Amino acid sequence: MSTKNLVKASYFVKVMQDESQWLHSAGSDFLFAYLDPKTMSTDTIKAVTKAFTDALQMSNKIKAAVLSTSGQTVVDGLYLLDQPAMTKAMNTIDGMGMTSANTKENSGSGSAVSISNEFFSDILTGVGGDVTPMQDYLKASMGKVIAQVATQDVKTDFGIVIGLISVMPVLNVPTTTFMYAHTASETKTWITKILCGSEEKNSYDYTYEVVNYNYIKPTKS
């Protein structure tokens, strides 16, 4: 039977289920890593944990880059940028570079929790296992984002930045990727109505774009 408990550190939380662990940021800045001793060596786990810890500081750098290039302040994890504006900001960060952009669509019927779980399950594919142990965190964090969406005059796009620490196959070395998952302003009416924490099921159909940025920590000269 699966077991779940939390171990809190200063800036991140470990969510443990059986022997595996999710690491995620403690606040509304989304950063994830997955540790599984059944498939990872001790050295790989140490390397992933180190990469995750290093990436925790990137949230402030990304927010500063957004403020510098667009004049926008990020509150509770909400970004009000389209893809070109976000890429302009990311390109000012040493070691950051755009790699791809993909359009995705989710549709079906579900509660706010199940919709959030489906979204993050899709985003975190290839990083780790079941996202259910993080359900409370995802619900609370997305709730803050949506509350901000409701108060903002969204002129073009809005979205969130998600950092991922994954393991490169064969080489077993960690890679750090940041995603900007954003959707058009028209989605605001739907998302603020559905994603309100209710357990009531609703039909949903939405499209969003995921822009991927690879990050390589600069070496000190």
Q: What is the pLDDT of residues 121-130, one digit of tens each?
A: 999 988 887 8
What's the confidence (pLDDT) of residue 170?
A: 76
Structure tokens at 22: 């999710």
Mean of pLDDT values over 197-212: 82
Instruction: Please list, in sequence order, all residues whose beta carbon lies within 8 angstroms of the beta carbon of residue 20, skipping any fewer than 6 positions away.
Output: 34, 35, 36, 37, 38, 128, 129
Give pLDDT, residue 2: 42
Q: What pLDDT is stored for residue 12 in this prediction?
A: 60
DSSP E strands in the chain: the ranges are 4-8, 12-17, 20-25, 30-35, 96-110, 157-168, 173-184, 202-215
Interval 134-152 mean pLDDT: 91
pLDDT at 17: 62
Rounded to an integer, the average pLDDT of 191-201 is 70
Dump pLDDT digits (tens) for 43-98. 999 999 999 999 999 999 999 999 999 999 999 999 999 999 999 999 999 999 99
Residue 138 has pLDDT above 70, yes or no: yes
- Phi/psi for 19 (5° steps) reads -90, -15
Domains of the chain: 4-215 (3.40.198)
* Mean pLDDT over each residue of the chain, to the nearest integer: 87
Burial zone of 102 (CB within 10 Å; 0-12 exposed, 13-18 middle, 19+ buried)? exposed
Tallying the residues shown for the chain, one arrives at 221
Phi, psi torsion values for 84, nearest 5 degrees = -60, -40
CA atoms within 13 A on the CB side of 31: 24
Q: Are 63 and 74 in contact (CB under 8 A)?
A: yes
